[in-house]
């Protein structure tokens, strides 16, 4: 059986780089990047997106509703 593949969208204007999503990701796919949002804060990015299982724990943890997860 093949697991679900997910896609994580970071809404740059909302992300403040708090890294709560990074801590909760079971596959350790999220990281604080060097990309900046309009407020000048580093934002979250995803590596190895094909390994995302669409569990959506990152979106549930985000206090700023800055992540959208699709399966």
- pLDDT tens digit sequence for 32-70: 999 999 999 999 999 998 999 999 999 999 999 999 999
- The dihedrals phi and psi of 10, each to the nearest 5 degrees, come to -100, 125
**Whether pLDDT at 3 is above 80:** no
Of 19, 32, 4, residue with least CA distance to 61: 19
C-alpha count within 13 angstroms, C-beta hemisphere, residue 58: 32
pLDDT of residue 16: 96
Confidence (pTM): 0.88
């Amino acid at each position: 059986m093949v697991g679900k593949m997910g896609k994580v969208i970071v809404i740059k204007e909302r992300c403040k780089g708090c890294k709560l999503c990074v801590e909760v990701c079971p596959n350790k796919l999220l990281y604080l990047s060097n990309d900046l949002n309009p407020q000048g804060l580093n934002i979250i990015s995803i590596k190895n997106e094909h390994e995302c299982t669409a569990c959506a724990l990152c979106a549930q943890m985000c206090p700023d509703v800055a992540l959208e997860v699709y399966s």
